[in-house]
A and B are shown apart, each in its own frame.
Chain A
């Protein structure tokens, strides 16, 4: 090459990059090359443009950014020589994609090249257009491409045909222009043109029904004849693959025939013979032959019914299924999946073989077979098939277990003939692959168990047994924990024993053991531990003998680092210690969960309107998982109509737990301060709330004191203090979630309860003659807004007439002034004018309020003007 040139040759650059031992070295080489290329680009170096672009393409393949070379492609394309254009188009296809704006700039060059005298240049342009054209380019250049479909050289015709495919896919409206030229391509002898022509017709049929009708009417016979000629053609070395002449053409013909025959009996009839011939004559010992057979089976399955052909096709698939080649088995499964809609009976015949494929060592085949089995299951064969699948669950490898489990669960749910079978199967799945089970599946299981009142005892015993053997399966543990909590007494007393059951002796302490294990296992997650705590609380009243132990276990979590557990522990402990009288009512068994609502919600409706007992179904499993506060909306839904009743998350969960309707007047409207509402709800909930809602307790003590009557609140407060002092963390336990909830409810509740001003009133302005005081309060739910009541007092012995107060604020504030109570201010402080205003601080938390004031009045018809600035507002307004 030119000795004066700078930079390296392409080959040398590749060699340099390949000899790099580390990624850093490679980056350095690439950086250097890119710098050189950039320099060449900015110098507009023409001689080495194509070489630079080639280098860029290599660099691009290595994954480095090369956007700076995009314009170079366009320049190369615009140059006159073939070598430059060739590299330019290659770069265009490699470095750009159809969504880039730069592409539009190439439209003109493409148009010129499509009209070039050199057919190879036309070929390059067609190729680029076919690979990356956008809808706009398709519109602009479609006439050129259409014209080239009749070009003298077949190699251009075939390129133009494929290019047309891209065009009609981008702009389906253009399809009708291509119907006639495409039809004429079907009469070609050149295989390349024929193949591409058939492909074009196929794609035209897909985008335009008009095209489909046209080809069906005009071309079906011709295509059948072409296929016949192909099938009977003598050996043609140029197109021969494994003894078959041009399998590609075979396949495309069969594909187009499928589309033409689908839904049209006459066309289907017309192709019956040739399909039968292909299906029987093609050798199936090589991949090429199998590819044709596979396509042929697909066509037979899709066209209008012909019993004989169908049998032939299913037999071919049967042969495929027993083939040793994995590829063949894979496509057989794939085709059987399509065939199942046509002839389910025939597919069922292969059930055993398909089931074998589920256990194949090849993941692709396993997955395909599983999909197929899933489709094959019906009411009559669900039991044996599920049995097989569950047995296989043990042997399958980890990554497959997830898919398999999901499928089994869905099958069991869909087809279960009776509840006990469902529970049994789910138990098996949970103990085998519980960690792969999705949340809604085990939620559903709990709902089903809850509804099967005659199986409560059976379920809890079976779960207890399963728990002993597979405690590492998280979801199994959860369901077991829930059931032990609810039906622990049935477990111990063997209530509702079924004939098929083996008797089991579980003592009360055994049951508590199980729960303790699940709390203490270090890999139990929060949900499980939280559920176990509830279960313990429930058992505390069912197993009086263990109540001390239960208390101990609950107390152990008092120091948990997880807020949720700590809070539960403290709250439950309080219930256990101080509220013996209500405990049994509190931990009654859950009401039956509503199956219909649950499944309805699972089906996709948003869980917005949570109402009472159905809310429990959802909220029990879900609400627990949420640390701290459950969504306020939920809570509001749960509570009564007039009083918003946020409470601590403990309270929320208790409501859920108990599933009690909260609608009976939870709090009288006048006293419905947010924090109180929570406790009121709790009181109502327990139906012992005979006393009026506690009035004067601090929010922190509310939670704990609530259950007792209000007289004890002070003592309780102390009790809390002593409790919380045990761990520094604990102090935050109860108030924190509460504050969360209160976020939406404005000022600190304490202030409201005292019914006094939230902020001390301040003297905003004082002169010898006039004093202005501000009473400041906050609007609930809107921390940015401050309500100010200005009170003006006259310090002089004269009456002020035409009193007018004006105020101005900086831009980050918004001020709204209400009319004053009067415009006459009596003398010597014998009365006052009040005027309220509302200030909204858009920079709340960053800047504090500030205000300029101006007060005008008349003394004996003489104008007086006072001005001043108020900057002594409290900081956090």
Chain B
């Protein structure tokens, strides 16, 4: 079982943390500090495993980022390396040659992808394509929701603008019947749309 996943930059900045075992916030900071001291100082040719508090940390460096996963003593370290690579490949596919900046500005995306890959510290999906598809499907759900809200806000904003303009031009709501009707209609449409959502 994977106890936690850490992404640490070469400067020791935390880019992603995911805890599958119970660590209090205080312990988490301590763990991160301890491990970055342990891992960032290791030379490039050494093996990718570090023993730590009776557990084992498997890490792999990709460019400026260290991907670390902490596992039990009897887990398969080599497989964890594959899982890390698996994750990196999915990220790469999603962002299109991923770099650290992508993971900083879109850290939530990195989390969403990880959640499609691991649950409860176990691997969920061996197919990169499936992961990509599931993340994309959820992204598009968000997009549609966003569009809907923004179209509603647009309509409301337009209606408001229109009414205000008319008022400015001296057409009071009771000035010109035609205009008055039009704006009332618009407001009506808007309220209905808002009600629907």
Contacts and interface: CB of A to CB of B under 8 A. Distances in A.
Considering residues B24, B47, B105, B153, which has the most beta carbons from chain A within 10 angstroms of its beta carbon? B47
B47 A364 contact: yes
A90 B104 contact: no
B78 A331 contact: yes
Chain B: interface size category = 35 or more
A238 B141 CA distance: 25
Contacts of A247: 79, 82
Interface stretch (A160-168, A466-474, A525-533): A160-168
B123 A195 contact: yes
B110 to A, nearest CB: 11
B45 interface: yes
B17 A248 contact: no
A248 B130 CA distance: 15
Given A62-B14, A90-B112, A330-B49, A82 B77 contact: no
A364 B79 contact: no
B78 A63 contact: no
Contacts of B83: 248
Interface stretch (B90-98, B114-122, B166-174, B179-187): B114-122
Interface residues of A, number: 70
A362 B107 contact: no
B68 to A, nearest CB: 14
Interface in B17-46: 17-20, 22-25, 29, 42-43, 45-46
A251 interface: yes
B76 A86 contact: no
A482 interface: no
A791 B29 CA distance: 69
A148 to B, nearest CB: 13
B106 to A, nearest CB: 9
A190 to B, nearest CB: 9
Given A86-B112, A361-B46, A365-B47, A127 B119 contact: yes
B61 interface: no
Contacts of A727: none
A327 B47 contact: yes
A164 B22 CA distance: 17
Contacts of A58: 107
A309 B21 CA distance: 36
A120 B111 contact: no
Contacts of A90: 108, 111-112, 115
Contacts of A62: 14
B108 A57 contact: yes
Interface stretch (A108-116, A287-295, A374-382, A674-682): A287-295
Interface in A353-408: 361-365, 367-368
A829 to B, nearest CB: 74
A326 interface: yes
Given A57-B107, A61-B15, A83-B145, A249 B126 contact: yes
Given A57-B108, A120-B138, A127-B119, A251 B76 contact: yes
A25 to B, nearest CB: 15
A97 B78 contact: no
A2 interface: yes
Given A192-B127, A330-B49, A364-B49, A97 B81 contact: no
Given A2-B153, A54-B108, A159-B124, A288 B29 contact: no
Interface in B128-181: 128-130, 134, 137-138, 141-142, 145-146, 153
A97 B45 contact: no
A690 to B, nearest CB: 63
A81 interface: yes
Contact of B142 (A54, A83, A159, A199): A83
Interface in A60-96: 61-63, 65, 81-83, 86-87, 90, 93-94
Given A97-B25, A238-B129, A362-B46, A14 B105 contact: yes
A11 interface: yes
A521 interface: no
A58 B111 CA distance: 12
B188 interface: no
B16 interface: yes
Given A18-B104, A86-B138, A97 B19 contact: yes
Contacts of B108: 54, 57, 87, 90
Contacts of A159: 119, 124
B42 to A, nearest CB: 8
B47 A329 contact: yes
A51 B173 CA distance: 38
Interface string A509-528: 00000000000000000000
Nearest to B138: A120
B88 interface: no
A155 interface: yes
Interface string A96-125: 011100000000000000000000100100
Contact of B22 (A99, A155, A363): A99
Contacts of B29: 63
A362 B142 CA distance: 47
A126 interface: yes
A86 B138 CA distance: 9
A62 B77 CA distance: 29
Contacts of A131: 18-20, 115, 119-120
A291 B81 CA distance: 9
A329 B49 CA distance: 11
Interface in B36-65: 42-43, 45-51
Given A162-B122, A327-B78, A331-B78, 14 more contacts: A61-B16, A63-B29, A86-B112, A86-B138, A97-B19, A163-B120, A166-B119, A195-B124, A196-B124, A251-B76, A288-B82, A291-B81, A330-B47, A362-B47
By Cβ-Cβ distance, the 4 closest A-B pairs, closest first, are: A291-B78, A326-B47, A162-B119, A130-B119
5 contacts: A18-B104, A81-B145, A87-B108, A120-B138, A248-B82
